[in-house]
Amino acid sequence: MKQQQIMFISGIDTDVGKTIATGFYANRLAAQGRSVITQKLVQTGCSGVAEDIQRHRKLQNLPLQQCDLDGTTCRYVFDYPCSPHLAARLAQTEIDLAQITADTQILAQQYDVVLIEGAGGLAVPLNNELTTLDYLQQQSYPLILVTSGKLGSINHTLLSLVVCQQRGIALQALIYNHYPQTDPIIENETQAYLQRYLTTHFPQAEFIELGEVV
């Protein structure tokens, strides 16, 4: 199994469009003839089948798969809408990262590509010791980072990219989410700046624009 068959999707912050970007990227790969499954690292703020997994399947125009129903694509779903480490504590349990990794390997044996959507940004704590960034570094998954044109995005994006350089995390792509639209002057400059930055510092990474997804 090639390592690039497993990719991690994170964002510069919460509510930046990771879930839609994950479904979009899955469809992009599927159009190239590859079988794709999505996985959610941890889901908070719901119960049952993870909301983000359900959203992925709708975007892929697919029904829920057996691996969704049995929890393989999202082992940890917590009711309280907060950071994974706190949600697990409130549920009086712990997030077993080894189990999540095992689930990913099972999926990777069945599909050409596994796209793992994180929860929030890169520095979100999964327990009292490890963050999503730590887990990503341990697994050596290439990263797809989702950003946007809202005010502050340049700062948040560059901070995320700099820490990836420091941690030796490969950047597969930067997805620029155009929606929701705010200030076109700021959005246009943010896009242009990030494209220039990527060309200079991450020339191997792809810059992808994400338009409105219904």
- pTM comes to 0.95
Helix (H) or strand (E) holding 176: strand 171-177
Helix (H, G, I), strand (E, B) or coil at 78: strand
Per-residue pLDDT of the chain (214 residues; tens, 9 = 90+): 444 599 999 999 988 999 999 999 999 999 999 999 999 999 999 999 999 999 999 999 999 999 999 999 999 999 999 999 999 999 999 999 999 999 999 999 999 999 999 999 999 999 999 999 999 999 999 999 999 999 999 999 999 999 999 999 999 999 999 998 889 999 999 999 999 999 999 999 999 999 876 5
**Which residue ranges are tagged as binding site for ATP?**
15-20, 52, 117-120, 177-178
Cα separation of 200 and 92, whole Å? 46
Q: Per the structure, how many domains does the chain have?
A: 1
Q: Which domain holds residue 8?
A: 3-210
Q: Name the residue among 59, 9, 96, 108 with its Cα closest to residue 51.
A: 59
Give the list of residues 6+ apart from residue 128 with CB closer than 8 angstroms, or none. Answer: 85
Q: What is the CATH number of the domain that holds 82?
A: 3.40.50.300
> What phi and psi values does residue 76 have, to the nearest 5 degrees?
-120, 115
**Which residue ranges are tagged as binding site?**
15-20, 44, 52, 117-120, 177-178
Q: Are strands 143-148 and 77-78 parallel, antiparallel or unpaired?
A: unpaired
- Catalytic-residue membership of 58: no
Cα separation of 142 and 128, whole Å? 24
Asked if 175 and 145 touch (Cβ cutoff 8 Å), the reply is: yes
User: Which residue among the candidates 2, 40, 58, 150 is catalytic per the annotation?
Assistant: 40
